[in-house]
Amino acid sequence: MKSGWVDRDAEAIVAEGAKSGIDRDLALRIYTTRLFGRDPKLVLHGGGNTSLKEVMRDRLGADVEVLRVKATGADMAMIDLAGLPAVRLSPLRKLRALGEIGDDELVGIERASLIDPAAANPSVEIMLHAFLPHKFVDHTHATAVLGVIDQPDGEKKCAEVFGGRLAFVPYVMPGFGLAKKAIEVFERAKPSDGLILSKHGIVTWGESAREAYERMIEMVSRAEDFVARRRKAATAPARRGTAEVAQVAPIVRGACSEKDKTIEGAWRRLVLEFRATDAVLNFINAKDLARLSQAGVVTPDHTIRTKNWPLVLPPADPAKLADFARVAHDTASQFAARYHRYFEQHNARVGHIKHELDPLPRVVLVPGLGLFGLGRTKRDAEIAADIAEAWIEGVSDAEGIGRFESISEADMFDCEYWPLEQAKLGTRREPPLAGQIAAVTGAGGAIGAATAKAFAAAGAEVALLDVNFAAAREQAKAIGPSALPAVCDVTSAASVRAAFDAVASAFGGVDIVVSNAGAAWQGRIGEVDEDVMRKSFELNFYGHQRVAQAAVKIMLAQNTGGCLLFNVSKQAVNPGPNFGPYGIPKAAELALMRQYALDYGADGIRANAVNADRIRSGLLTADMIASRSKARGLSEKDYMSGNLLGREVTADDVAQAFLHQALALKTTADVTTVDGGNIAAAMR
Ligand SMILES: [Zn+2]
């Protein structure tokens, strides 16, 4: 591992900070914290922290000694001043005299000691930084170091690798107890460079930001070299005898969902992220996977993202997917039952004071194929997958030089259910479609884009499908990094299949499909060319059938219900003159919706439609609005609001109607009219 320190970058941050009164030490504290945050081999998703002790002037003009320490959950790669709250050091140091202290009381004292009372909460490892006397203190969970220390003889290996420059602190749960243990060890052993926290991580320090940082790099490099010299080259990884990700993911996702006990028809679902690097394949194809997979976390805070163990499934034989699905459901149920027993047992130990988290796995291993990270959002799934990859690397390193050994199950429970660790996940109220995946066709157009946006705002992960990929990509970009654009020509069965494979591979499946793509053709029905009729049927009827078929296939594999939503125009109900080529396939689409509601109701799959009229879109362009209003002798405004309410109907109104249908768990075979009022198009 090489130092990322660049003099020019460091001086640029110092110069920039000077403009807003940030002193040199603090500017360089920010700089090296970012260097740590940018290397996932050092720091991953909130695991790791840095600090600086300095004198600053408080609000009353007095000089006070403070600890600037990373805020809990802050992203080190992007850290700024707000991510390093300043805490008065003397009250923190006095706490050392206490035998122990409750979490709430400790957090209360920390908050009361903040220079800025509105600052973020300091890291859960604040006391470790406070008790150590050094000016700069850095702490990471570097993967290579974990490989060396997660061993039955970790202390001996540390002496060998770090040559006495780091003292060894036996495992104590992170927090106040660990801080006290660490300072005791420091004062007894007086190591020159830092500490090893057994089964947890490494601490280095220095008089300057650079010294502390480069000591960390040097120590991690020693661990890397030690492991590299001893680890045998991995056997060639191979994907073998396995079904495709797009086939396997919906089965895995369905198996790892649970019925919502409070709302009939509702499910608690997770989103998936797939990984299959060489390291992952080597690990999951190894013959001792059964032992290694259940051996526990490589560092305690991983448990809040991945739980203590992954769910291990059998290989997915493409010729026997039904068998695979059955075993996946059974194995996932056993996982949940085991998790429940684990909770009950340890909750009894701590006096029944904890509330059980959901029992669903956050990492799933499928031999021959790869690993899935699972989370309530795509981002959470990615984090689980990142941590699972680091876990695989740590365990593989440890096995390469000895035998991997984690902390005890009781220690894992204490971290998983430590309120201060849980606080890293935030106390967000979940939006109504959290954990659900929605695909929208025609998403490059006005109604499709508005619908994708509305579903994303309601918490769904969204896939934007359009024959025009650039348009889908532009709309996806506007929604955010998780939104998936995909090309989808609904007149081609192969294109629809490929698009739904892409959705299932990216998110794990699909729960809601808005079949919206369409285009209008005109002609007097007795004279119109058969070719025009066929073209329109191809898009405005068969397009919906292909999309619904592809979606239902995935929904059945998940076995957690689903929702098909169709954009039928008012033409399906109230035909317009010379609009047969468009209206007739749309009427067939309405019948199609009802047929899906009928045939798949027993599978929990609902089918509904929105009957919208006169929306500014690709079907009703500005030119068409101009010529039609002129032909009727109306202003454009009067033409667009020519309905019972006298209000123009927008794409957003249609999007809200689709959203309502997605949320109405007891409604199927329904048509919701969004047209401002048109009695001739009323459903009944
Ligand atoms: Zn730590």
Spacing, Cα 29 to ligand 1 middle (Å): 18
The burial class, CB within 10 Å (0-12 / 13-18 / 19+), for 525 is: middle
Are the C-beta atoms of 106 and 130 separated by less than 8 Å? Answer: no
> Nearest 5 degrees, angle CA 14-CA 15-CA 19?
110
Spacing, Cα 343 to ligand 1 middle (Å): 23
What is each CA distance from 13 to 68, 82, 608, 625, in whole angstroms?
17, 16, 56, 56
Overall average pLDDT of the 644-664 stretch: 97
Would you report the helix, strand and coil content of the chain in percent, each value rounded to 5? 50, 15, 35
User: Exposure pattern of 533-566 as b/e (b: 16+ CB <10 Å)?
Assistant: bebbbebbbbbbbbbbebbbebbbbbbbbbbbbb
pLDDT number for residue 421: 67
- The first and second tokens of residue 316, run together, are 């997915």
Spacing, Cα 173 to ligand 1 middle (Å): 10
* Other beta carbons less than 10 A from residue 19's beta carbon: 7
Spacing, Cα 178 to ligand 1 middle (Å): 10
Spacing, Cα 142 to ligand 1 middle (Å): 10
**Cα-Cα-Cα-Cα dihedral sign, residues 564, 565, 569, 575:** positive
Span 333-355, pLDDT tens digits: 999 999 999 999 999 999 998 88
Spacing, Cα 223 to ligand 1 middle (Å): 17
User: Using CA atoms, how far apart are residues 34 and 283, in angstroms rounded to an integer?
Assistant: 31
Span 259-287, pLDDT tens digits: 998 999 999 999 999 999 999 999 999 88
DSSP state of 313: P
Instruction: Tell me the residue type at 332.
Output: A
User: Using CA atoms, how far apart are residues 346 and 329, in angstroms rounded to an integer?
Assistant: 26
Span 586-617, pLDDT tens digits: 999 999 999 999 999 999 999 999 999 889 88
Average pLDDT, the chain: 94
Span 283-336, pLDDT tens digits: 999 889 999 999 999 999 999 999 999 999 999 999 999 999 999 999 999 999
- The first and second tokens of residue 110, run together, are 């920390």
Spacing, Cα 445 to ligand 1 middle (Å): 48
To 10 degrees, the CA torsion angle through 181, 196, 414, 111?
Answer: 60
Spacing, Cα 139 to ligand 1 middle (Å): 7
Span 435-459, pLDDT tens digits: 999 999 999 999 999 999 999 999 9
What do you get for the CA distance between the two ends of the chain, in Å? 72
The burial class, CB within 10 Å (0-12 / 13-18 / 19+), for 395 is: buried
DSSP state of 47: B
Spacing, Cα 351 to ligand 1 middle (Å): 26
Residues 6 or more apart whose CB falls under 8 angstroms from that of 523 comprise 529, 532, 578, 580, 581
Spacing, Cα 356 to ligand 1 middle (Å): 24
Span 37-82, pLDDT tens digits: 999 999 988 789 999 999 998 888 899 999 999 998 889 999 999 9
Residue 423 in this model has a pLDDT that exceeds 80: no
Span 479-534, pLDDT tens digits: 999 999 999 999 999 999 999 999 999 999 999 999 999 999 999 999 999 999 99
pLDDT number for residue 242: 87
What length is written for the chain? 684
Are the C-beta atoms of 361 and 334 separated by less than 8 Å? Answer: no
Spacing, Cα 138 to ligand 1 middle (Å): 10
Residue 414 in this model has a pLDDT that exceeds 70: yes
- The first and second tokens of residue 401, run together, are 């030089």
- Short-list 396, 378, 198, 355, CA closest to 270: 378
Spacing, Cα 109 to ligand 1 middle (Å): 21
**Cα-Cα-Cα-Cα dihedral sign, residues 422, 428, 429, 434:** negative
